[in-house]
Amino acid sequence: MNADLYNIPDLRIYLYTTTIAGGVLLWIIEGLNPCFFQQKHRGLHAKLNLSMAGLNLLILLPSGILMAFMLDWSRNAWHGIGMLTLPPVAEAILIILLIDLWMYVWHRLNHESAFLWRFHSVHHSDATLDVTTSWRFHYMEILLSELLRLPLFMLMGAGIEHLLLYSLLMTPVIEFQHSNVSIPPAMDRLARLIIPSPMMHRLHHSRLRSEHDSNYGSMLSVWDRIFGSFRMRENLDDLRLGLDHESDSDKQRLIALLLRPFRP
């Protein structure tokens, strides 16, 4: 596969299209068939989360351009996994699995490090979990993630096409697991054999630390099973989402959320 950014417009178009179309479709479905309850002020909730997502694009867009050129440059000096001389498909699968493993590790670190949790907790303070929550992250978490993963991907020998392909596969899963769509329990059990299902991820957003410190997987659920962080209970009727003292309405405003990690 050619790593030249300008030779892979189709992947970029598919990524943008599936992200927007998938998000809109799930937002409509969860309004018609919600899992928990019929949410009030869905438009205002979406506006807040999309505002944070819009700010993050100011980091992600230039970072994506920089990453494309850095990965292209680094592969000429260091082939990484390319030194195994695998067929292109096998190489892509291995790199995508390693990227997903890194996403698991990074997510877990965000819970286990007090410093990183200050930023990641902004995502968890959303007590009205829906598909728009999948785009709600503090800009410092996005910035730190971009800074850390670039040298790691360079070490892997990954190309921008691998990262785009991973994003294309992972994004619908992230949107689905955050959504408030009601699905049959049997379908959820089947889904979580492969991906983090909505019930898995709802437990991850529990106010109980013993529950939200679990189910870290992004695209695949296998990492939680391998590393002992898988947790599930079938009845979520008493599940309380968000964070104590951080999910109050006066703290769920854009400026308050942006400043929250810097409070004592």
What is the pLDDT at residue 5? 39
Per-residue pLDDT of the chain (264 residues; tens, 9 = 90+): 444 433 566 677 878 888 999 999 999 999 998 987 767 789 999 999 999 999 999 999 999 999 989 998 998 888 899 889 899 999 999 999 999 999 999 999 999 999 999 999 999 999 999 999 999 999 999 999 999 999 999 999 999 999 999 999 999 999 999 999 999 999 999 999 999 999 999 999 999 999 999 999 999 999 999 999 999 997 888 899 999 999 998 899 999 999 999 988
What is the pLDDT at residue 38? 62
**239 neighbors 199 (Cβ within 8 angstroms):** no
**190 neighbors 175 (Cβ within 8 angstroms):** no
Nearest to residue 1, comparing CAs of 153, 154, 164, 171? 164
What is the pLDDT at residue 12? 78
Q: Full-prediction pTM beyond 0.85?
A: yes
What is the pLDDT at residue 9? 64
**In the numeric block, which tokens belong to residue 136?**
């709600």
**42 neighbors 31 (Cβ within 8 angstroms):** yes
Query: Cα 119 to chain center, whole Å?
Result: 14
Domain boundaries, the chain: 5-262
Going from the C-alpha of 156 to that of each of 83, 94, 98, 149, 188, the distances in angstroms are 10, 10, 8, 10, 33
What is the pLDDT at residue 26? 95
What SS3 class is residue 5? Answer: helix
What is the pLDDT at residue 215? 98
